Amino acid sequence: MDSLPPSERKDRPLSFAAAALWTLLALFLYVFFLGMTEAAREGAVPDLVSRTACQALAYSIVFFGILRLHEPETSIRHVLALRAPSALAVILALTVGAAMSLPSEWLGQVLDAKLPRPPEEQQELDSLLAVTTVGKRVTLFVTLVVLAPIFDELFFRGVLFTPLKRTQRAETVIVATAAFETLGSLNSRAMLMLLVATLVFAWIRGLTGSVIPSILARMAYYGVAIVPICLGRDGLRPTPVLLAVSGGVGVVGLVGLSLLGRRDARSREARELSGD
Protein backbone atom coordinates (compact mmCIF):
# COMPACT_ATOMS: atom_id res chain seq x y z
CA MET A 1 0.00 0.00 0.00
CA ASP A 2 1.39 3.39 -1.00
CA SER A 3 -0.38 5.50 1.56
CA LEU A 4 -2.34 5.08 4.77
CA PRO A 5 -4.87 7.44 6.36
CA PRO A 6 -3.18 9.99 8.68
CA SER A 7 -4.78 8.41 11.74
CA GLU A 8 -3.17 5.04 10.95
CA ARG A 9 0.30 6.30 10.10
CA LYS A 10 3.15 5.98 12.60
CA ASP A 11 5.68 8.25 10.93
CA ARG A 12 6.82 11.77 11.78
CA PRO A 13 5.41 14.49 9.50
CA LEU A 14 8.11 16.35 7.60
CA SER A 15 8.10 20.05 8.46
CA PHE A 16 9.65 22.81 6.37
CA ALA A 17 12.36 23.26 9.00
CA ALA A 18 13.20 19.56 8.90
CA ALA A 19 13.22 19.58 5.10
CA ALA A 20 15.66 22.50 5.16
CA LEU A 21 17.92 20.59 7.56
CA TRP A 22 17.81 17.48 5.36
CA THR A 23 18.76 19.66 2.39
CA LEU A 24 21.70 21.11 4.30
CA LEU A 25 22.78 17.60 5.27
CA ALA A 26 22.71 16.54 1.62
CA LEU A 27 24.83 19.56 0.72
CA PHE A 28 27.28 18.86 3.55
CA LEU A 29 27.62 15.21 2.51
CA TYR A 30 28.18 16.20 -1.11
CA VAL A 31 30.97 18.62 -0.18
CA PHE A 32 32.44 16.06 2.23
CA PHE A 33 32.51 13.29 -0.37
CA LEU A 34 34.04 15.68 -2.91
CA GLY A 35 36.76 16.53 -0.41
CA MET A 36 37.42 12.86 0.27
CA THR A 37 37.60 12.16 -3.46
CA GLU A 38 40.00 15.03 -4.02
CA ALA A 39 42.19 13.82 -1.17
CA ALA A 40 42.31 10.34 -2.67
CA ARG A 41 42.82 11.44 -6.27
CA GLU A 42 44.24 14.83 -7.18
CA GLY A 43 42.15 16.71 -9.72
CA ALA A 44 38.95 14.79 -8.99
CA VAL A 45 36.93 17.83 -7.86
CA PRO A 46 36.40 19.31 -11.33
CA ASP A 47 35.72 15.86 -12.80
CA LEU A 48 32.05 15.43 -13.76
CA VAL A 49 31.95 11.71 -13.02
CA SER A 50 33.26 12.26 -9.49
CA ARG A 51 30.83 15.12 -8.88
CA THR A 52 27.86 13.09 -10.09
CA ALA A 53 28.83 10.06 -8.02
CA CYS A 54 29.21 12.21 -4.88
CA GLN A 55 25.84 13.83 -5.56
CA ALA A 56 24.15 10.45 -5.97
CA LEU A 57 25.69 9.12 -2.76
CA ALA A 58 24.73 12.21 -0.72
CA TYR A 59 21.14 12.18 -1.99
CA SER A 60 20.83 8.44 -1.37
CA ILE A 61 21.91 8.69 2.27
CA VAL A 62 19.47 11.54 2.97
CA PHE A 63 16.70 9.76 1.06
CA PHE A 64 16.92 6.66 3.22
CA GLY A 65 17.05 8.82 6.33
CA ILE A 66 13.82 10.57 5.32
CA LEU A 67 12.26 7.27 4.31
CA ARG A 68 13.10 5.75 7.70
CA LEU A 69 11.91 8.68 9.84
CA HIS A 70 9.09 10.24 7.83
CA GLU A 71 7.79 7.60 5.40
CA PRO A 72 8.50 4.14 6.92
CA GLU A 73 5.19 2.71 5.73
CA THR A 74 5.30 4.14 2.22
CA SER A 75 6.74 2.51 -0.90
CA ILE A 76 9.84 4.03 -2.48
CA ARG A 77 7.97 4.42 -5.77
CA HIS A 78 5.28 6.47 -4.08
CA VAL A 79 7.71 8.73 -2.20
CA LEU A 80 9.60 9.42 -5.42
CA ALA A 81 6.33 10.10 -7.29
CA LEU A 82 7.25 7.66 -10.06
CA ARG A 83 3.90 7.62 -11.84
CA ALA A 84 3.42 7.35 -15.59
CA PRO A 85 2.25 10.71 -17.02
CA SER A 86 0.16 11.16 -20.17
CA ALA A 87 1.94 11.56 -23.51
CA LEU A 88 0.70 15.14 -23.81
CA ALA A 89 2.13 15.99 -20.38
CA VAL A 90 5.50 14.64 -21.51
CA ILE A 91 5.46 16.71 -24.70
CA LEU A 92 4.45 19.90 -22.89
CA ALA A 93 7.05 19.38 -20.15
CA LEU A 94 9.82 18.94 -22.72
CA THR A 95 8.61 22.04 -24.55
CA VAL A 96 8.56 24.19 -21.43
CA GLY A 97 11.99 22.99 -20.31
CA ALA A 98 13.58 23.69 -23.69
CA ALA A 99 11.87 27.09 -23.93
CA MET A 100 13.32 28.21 -20.59
CA SER A 101 16.90 27.46 -21.60
CA LEU A 102 17.47 30.44 -23.88
CA PRO A 103 16.24 33.11 -21.42
CA SER A 104 18.45 31.47 -18.79
CA GLU A 105 21.41 31.67 -21.17
CA TRP A 106 20.68 35.35 -21.72
CA LEU A 107 20.57 35.95 -17.96
CA GLY A 108 23.89 34.17 -17.62
CA GLN A 109 25.45 36.47 -20.19
CA VAL A 110 24.08 39.52 -18.38
CA LEU A 111 25.54 38.27 -15.10
CA ASP A 112 28.89 37.58 -16.76
CA ALA A 113 28.96 41.19 -17.95
CA LYS A 114 27.90 42.66 -14.60
CA LEU A 115 29.59 40.18 -12.26
CA PRO A 116 32.56 38.48 -13.97
CA ARG A 117 33.50 35.11 -12.54
CA PRO A 118 36.72 34.89 -10.51
CA PRO A 119 39.58 33.49 -12.65
CA GLU A 120 39.77 30.23 -10.69
CA GLU A 121 36.01 29.67 -11.00
CA GLN A 122 36.12 30.36 -14.74
CA GLN A 123 39.05 27.99 -15.13
CA GLU A 124 37.18 25.23 -13.29
CA LEU A 125 34.09 25.78 -15.47
CA ASP A 126 36.17 25.64 -18.65
CA SER A 127 37.70 22.38 -17.43
CA LEU A 128 34.27 20.90 -16.75
CA LEU A 129 32.97 21.77 -20.21
CA ALA A 130 36.10 20.80 -22.14
CA VAL A 131 35.22 18.25 -24.86
CA THR A 132 38.53 17.28 -26.40
CA THR A 133 37.62 13.61 -26.90
CA VAL A 134 34.53 11.58 -27.76
CA GLY A 135 34.56 10.11 -24.26
CA LYS A 136 34.40 13.57 -22.70
CA ARG A 137 31.52 14.53 -24.98
CA VAL A 138 29.57 11.45 -23.90
CA THR A 139 30.44 12.07 -20.25
CA LEU A 140 29.27 15.69 -20.46
CA PHE A 141 25.94 14.65 -21.94
CA VAL A 142 25.29 11.72 -19.61
CA THR A 143 26.20 13.57 -16.40
CA LEU A 144 24.70 17.01 -17.03
CA VAL A 145 21.73 16.23 -19.29
CA VAL A 146 20.67 12.80 -17.99
CA LEU A 147 21.92 11.90 -14.52
CA ALA A 148 22.06 15.27 -12.72
CA PRO A 149 18.44 16.20 -13.66
CA ILE A 150 17.24 12.79 -12.51
CA PHE A 151 19.02 13.02 -9.15
CA ASP A 152 17.96 16.61 -8.47
CA GLU A 153 14.31 16.09 -9.36
CA LEU A 154 13.98 12.80 -7.49
CA PHE A 155 15.35 14.51 -4.39
CA PHE A 156 13.56 17.87 -4.42
CA ARG A 157 10.35 16.92 -6.24
CA GLY A 158 10.17 13.41 -4.82
CA VAL A 159 11.96 12.85 -1.52
CA LEU A 160 11.08 16.29 -0.11
CA PHE A 161 7.92 17.13 -2.05
CA THR A 162 5.87 14.02 -1.22
CA PRO A 163 6.26 14.06 2.60
CA LEU A 164 5.76 17.83 2.74
CA LYS A 165 2.59 17.60 0.67
CA ARG A 166 0.95 15.39 3.30
CA THR A 167 0.51 18.34 5.67
CA GLN A 168 1.04 21.45 3.53
CA ARG A 169 -0.69 23.17 0.61
CA ALA A 170 0.65 22.29 -2.84
CA GLU A 171 1.45 25.92 -3.67
CA THR A 172 3.55 26.28 -0.52
CA VAL A 173 5.41 23.04 -1.16
CA ILE A 174 6.16 24.11 -4.74
CA VAL A 175 7.75 27.35 -3.53
CA ALA A 176 9.55 25.67 -0.63
CA THR A 177 11.21 22.90 -2.64
CA ALA A 178 12.28 25.42 -5.28
CA ALA A 179 13.72 27.66 -2.56
CA PHE A 180 15.57 24.79 -0.88
CA GLU A 181 17.24 23.83 -4.15
CA THR A 182 18.07 27.40 -5.09
CA LEU A 183 19.53 28.33 -1.71
CA GLY A 184 21.43 25.05 -1.60
CA SER A 185 23.57 26.19 -4.52
CA LEU A 186 25.34 28.67 -2.17
CA ASN A 187 26.19 30.80 -5.20
CA SER A 188 24.48 34.11 -5.89
CA ARG A 189 24.87 33.73 -9.65
CA ALA A 190 23.41 30.22 -9.61
CA MET A 191 20.58 31.33 -7.33
CA LEU A 192 19.42 33.98 -9.78
CA MET A 193 19.52 31.55 -12.69
CA LEU A 194 17.93 28.65 -10.80
CA LEU A 195 15.04 30.35 -9.03
CA VAL A 196 12.56 30.65 -11.90
CA ALA A 197 13.55 27.30 -13.41
CA THR A 198 13.13 25.39 -10.15
CA LEU A 199 9.76 27.03 -9.55
CA VAL A 200 8.63 25.82 -12.96
CA PHE A 201 9.94 22.28 -12.38
CA ALA A 202 8.17 22.15 -9.01
CA TRP A 203 4.95 23.49 -10.54
CA ILE A 204 5.06 20.81 -13.25
CA ARG A 205 5.47 18.18 -10.54
CA GLY A 206 2.49 19.59 -8.65
CA LEU A 207 0.27 19.80 -11.75
CA THR A 208 0.95 16.29 -12.99
CA GLY A 209 1.34 14.47 -9.67
CA SER A 210 4.43 12.80 -11.10
CA VAL A 211 8.15 13.52 -11.00
CA ILE A 212 8.71 12.20 -14.53
CA PRO A 213 7.51 15.35 -16.38
CA SER A 214 9.66 17.59 -14.18
CA ILE A 215 12.68 15.35 -14.87
CA LEU A 216 12.05 15.59 -18.61
CA ALA A 217 11.58 19.36 -18.42
CA ARG A 218 14.91 19.66 -16.60
CA MET A 219 16.65 17.43 -19.14
CA ALA A 220 15.37 19.59 -21.99
CA TYR A 221 16.38 22.73 -20.11
CA TYR A 222 20.00 21.63 -19.81
CA GLY A 223 20.04 19.77 -23.11
CA VAL A 224 19.49 22.90 -25.19
CA ALA A 225 22.69 24.39 -23.75
CA ILE A 226 24.82 21.25 -23.40
CA VAL A 227 24.08 19.25 -26.56
CA PRO A 228 25.67 21.84 -28.91
CA ILE A 229 28.80 21.80 -26.74
CA CYS A 230 28.91 18.00 -26.96
CA LEU A 231 28.66 18.25 -30.75
CA GLY A 232 31.39 20.89 -30.91
CA ARG A 233 29.03 23.57 -32.17
CA ASP A 234 27.91 26.98 -31.01
CA GLY A 235 24.54 27.12 -29.33
CA LEU A 236 21.71 29.48 -30.20
CA ARG A 237 22.44 33.09 -29.42
CA PRO A 238 19.72 34.72 -27.28
CA THR A 239 18.66 37.45 -29.72
CA PRO A 240 15.58 39.56 -28.89
CA VAL A 241 13.50 37.64 -31.44
CA LEU A 242 14.54 34.22 -30.14
CA LEU A 243 13.99 35.33 -26.55
CA ALA A 244 10.47 36.52 -27.41
CA VAL A 245 9.68 33.28 -29.25
CA SER A 246 11.06 31.03 -26.51
CA GLY A 247 9.26 33.04 -23.84
CA GLY A 248 5.99 32.76 -25.74
CA VAL A 249 6.42 29.04 -26.27
CA GLY A 250 7.18 28.57 -22.59
CA VAL A 251 4.05 30.47 -21.51
CA VAL A 252 1.87 28.50 -23.94
CA GLY A 253 3.37 25.25 -22.65
CA LEU A 254 2.71 26.20 -19.03
CA VAL A 255 -0.88 27.17 -19.83
CA GLY A 256 -1.30 23.86 -21.63
CA LEU A 257 0.05 21.96 -18.62
CA SER A 258 -2.26 23.88 -16.30
CA LEU A 259 -5.31 23.00 -18.41
CA LEU A 260 -4.14 19.43 -18.77
CA GLY A 261 -3.68 19.10 -15.03
CA ARG A 262 -7.35 19.94 -14.54
CA ARG A 263 -8.79 17.82 -17.34
CA ASP A 264 -6.45 14.87 -17.75
CA ALA A 265 -7.71 11.84 -15.81
CA ARG A 266 -4.20 10.42 -15.36
CA SER A 267 -2.91 13.67 -13.85
CA ARG A 268 -5.90 13.94 -11.51
CA GLU A 269 -5.44 10.35 -10.38
CA ALA A 270 -1.71 10.90 -9.78
CA ARG A 271 -2.39 13.99 -7.69
CA GLU A 272 -5.00 12.11 -5.65
CA LEU A 273 -2.55 9.30 -4.98
CA SER A 274 0.04 11.79 -3.76
CA GLY A 275 -2.45 13.71 -1.67
CA ASP A 276 -2.49 16.69 -4.03
Residue 21 lies in a domain: no
Percentage of the chain exceeding pLDDT 70: 88
Residue 52 lies in a domain: no
**Quick one: pLDDT at residue 262?**
77
pTM above threshold 0.85: yes
Using 50, 70 and 90 to split pLDDT, how confident is the model at 143? very high
**Quick one: pLDDT at residue 119?**
79
Residue 26 lies in a domain: no
The contacts of residue 95 (CB under 8 Å, 6+ apart) are: 220, 249, 250, 253
Using 50, 70 and 90 to split pLDDT, how confident is the model at 28? very high
Average pLDDT score, the chain: 86
Structural domain containing residue 102: 84-273
**Quick one: pLDDT at residue 52?**
93
Residue 41 lies in a domain: no
Using 50, 70 and 90 to split pLDDT, how confident is the model at 1? very low
Q: Does residue 196 carry a pLDDT above 50?
A: yes
**Quick one: pLDDT at residue 267?**
66
Out of 4-13, 50-59, 69-78, 192-201, least confident range: 4-13
Q: Does residue 275 carry a pLDDT above 60?
A: no
Out of 29-33, 83-87, 147-151, 158-162, least confident range: 83-87
Residue 140 lies in a domain: yes
**Quick one: pLDDT at residue 3?**
47
pLDDT top residue among 32 and 266: 32
Q: Which range has the top average pLDDT, 37-46, 104-113, 220-229, 261-270? A: 220-229
Question: What region does 93 belong to: left with phi over 0, alpha with psi -120 to 50, or beta?
Answer: alpha
Please report which residue ranges of the chain form alpha helices under DSSP H.
Answer: 16-40, 48-70, 76-79, 87-114, 119-128, 134-141, 148-154, 161-165, 170-184, 188-208, 212-230, 240-263, 265-273
Percentage of the chain exceeding pLDDT 90: 53
Out of 85-94, 101-110, 181-190, 205-214, least confident range: 181-190
Quick one: DSSP state of residue 7?
G
Q: Does residue 198 carry a pLDDT above 70?
A: yes
Q: Does residue 60 carry a pLDDT above 90?
A: yes
Residue 185 lies in a domain: yes
Residue 153 lies in a domain: yes
- The answer to whether 232 and 52 are in contact (CB under 8 A) is no
- The answer to whether 104 and 220 are in contact (CB under 8 A) is no
Residue 11 lies in a domain: no
Number of domains present in the structure of the chain: 1
